[in-house]
């Protein structure tokens, strides 16, 4: 596995790392059924991807977006949905398997299959400023060179245009009361405290002692998600995302949240209707500060500086 140790994460916290090739292989094999999660959604507890798309549609309406480019479009579920809504849109993805599935989906729905093509988000063929709106959903947290990807997404957005990006939410780790909470203290909070190494260790043991399950979630060897969790995962903080993108010439407009957790995930088993209650929260709280803690992912919207509005 070749990884550039100097990689730029645009202010993110790295949870795990893999090469771009490993990510591509995952989506060409285990993850090649990506778009299935959009089909016949369970209305009471829709898949997080469906919930994300609902927030994206609200944003597209709010900012009057058109001439949309979907970077890392998978097998084109979002492209197809926006085409059905009358938008001008096309997308690229670096998984050839997903792109072929995307072409079939578009053709089946009466659209031009060339609206979904192979392309790498870290090195796009699009001209500068080509698009009024650029989407990148569920992709950036996987990208080892996120700085290159963000640079490319900004480059192809026209001045005054809109960029809609999704990120993993670093703050959610404080809400989980588990191993991730211990890691949040260890990696994000305690480095700012002028402790001696001994005090730091004692503090961490103390934090772990406050939690009933400081080692969960462990890695289950037969978990269907095991391979996914080995891929690059980068968290971002919704409180600092504006500053993270500012050096790229982007002005932050709003954050949107999806996939609400009514309680920390450790309590899920005690509430059989956990996901359904969460989905009801999604209906009204997408733009509430509550999402900063209760959602593991968020969408950040930016306007590219320059141009007329």
Ligand X SMILES: C[S@@+](CC[C@H](N)C(=O)[O-])C[C@H]1O[C@@H](n2cnc3c(N)ncnc32)[C@H](O)[C@@H]1O
Bridge partners of 71, per DSSP, are 92
Which listed residue (34, 167, 184, 302) binds ligand X by CB under 6 A?
34
User: What is the rounded distance in angstroms from the CA atom of residue 232 to the CA atom of residue 73?
Assistant: 18
Which listed residue (65, 78, 171, 300) binds ligand X by CB under 6 A?
78
Which listed residue (65, 139, 154, 294) binds ligand X by CB under 6 A?
139
Which listed residue (10, 32, 49, 115) binds ligand X by CB under 6 A?
49
Report yes or no: 133 and 64 within 8 Å, Cβ to Cβ.
no
Q: To which H or E segment does residue 117 belong?
A: strand 116-118
Interface segment toward ligand X; rule CB under 6 A; list 5-13, 114-122, 169-177, 293-301: 114-122
Q: Closer to ligand X at the Cβ: 144 or 244? A: 144
CA 225 from centroid of its chain's CA atoms: 16
User: What is the rounded distance in angstroms from the CA atom of residue 131 to the CA atom of residue 152?
Assistant: 12
- Residues making up the chain, counted from first to last: 309
Tokens, residue 120: 């790498």
Which listed residue (51, 90, 95, 255) binds ligand X by CB under 6 A?
95
**Taking every pair of C-alpha atoms in the chain, what is the biggest distance, in angstroms?**
65
Interface positions, 152-211, toward ligand X (CB under 6 A): none
CB of 103 to ligand X, least distance (A): 14
User: What is the rounded distance in angstroms from the CA atom of residue 181 to the CA atom of residue 129?
Assistant: 41
Interface positions, 279-298, toward ligand X (CB under 6 A): none
Which listed residue (50, 73, 134, 279) binds ligand X by CB under 6 A?
73
Report yes or no: 20 and 144 within 8 Å, Cβ to Cβ.
yes
Cβ neighbours around 76 below 10 Å, total = 31
> Could you say whether residue 232 binds ligand X (CB under 6 A)?
no
CB of 183 to ligand X, least distance (A): 23
CB of 185 to ligand X, least distance (A): 29
Which letter does DSSP use for residue 134 in this model? Answer: E
Question: Under DSSP, is residue 299 helix (H, G, I), strand (E, B) or coil?
Answer: strand
Which listed residue (55, 60, 93, 132) binds ligand X by CB under 6 A?
93
Q: Closer to ligand X at the Cβ: 78 or 281? A: 78
Report the interface residues with ligand X, using CB under 6 A: 20, 23, 27, 34, 49, 72-74, 77-78, 93-95, 98, 120-122, 137-139, 142-143
């Amino acid at each position: 596995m070749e990884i550039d140790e100097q990689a730029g994460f645009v202010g993110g916290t790295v949870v795990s790392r893999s090469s771009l090739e490993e990510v591509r292989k995952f989506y060409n094999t285990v993850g090649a059924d990506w778009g299935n999660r959009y089909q016949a959604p369970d209305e009471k507890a829709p898949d997080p991807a469906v919930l994300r798309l609902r927030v994206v549609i609200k944003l597209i309406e709010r900012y009057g977006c058109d001439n949309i480019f979907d970077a890392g479009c998978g097998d084109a579920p979002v492209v197809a949905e926006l085409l059905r809504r009358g938008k001008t849109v096309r997308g690229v993805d670096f998984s050839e398997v997903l792109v072929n599935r995307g072409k079939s989906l578009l053709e089946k729905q009466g659209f031009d299959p060339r609206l979904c093509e192979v392309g790498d988000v870290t090195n796009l063929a699009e001209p500068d400023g080509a698009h009024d709106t650029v989407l990148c959903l569920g992709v950036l947290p996987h990208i080892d060179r996120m700085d290159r990807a963000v640079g490319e997404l900004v480059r192809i957005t026209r001045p005054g245009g809109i960029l809609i990006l999704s990120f993993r939410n670093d703050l959610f780790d404080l809400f989980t009361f588990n191993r991730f909470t211990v890691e949040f203290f260890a990696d994000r909070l305690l480095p700012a405290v002028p402790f001696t190494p001994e005090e730091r260790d004692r503090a961490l043991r103390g934090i772990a002692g406050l939690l009933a399950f400081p080692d969960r979630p462990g890695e289950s060897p037969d978990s269907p998600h095991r391979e996914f969790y080995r891929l690059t995962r980068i968290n971002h903080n919704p409180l600092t995302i504006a500053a993270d993108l500012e050096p790229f010439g982007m002005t932050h407009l709003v954050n949107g949240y999806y996939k609400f957790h009514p309680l920390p995930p450790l309590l899920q088993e005690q509430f059989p209707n956990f996901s359904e209650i969460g989905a009801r929260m999604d209906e009204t709280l997408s733009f509430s500060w509550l999402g900063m803690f209760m959602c593991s992912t968020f969408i950040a919207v930016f306007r590219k500086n320059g141009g007329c509005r």
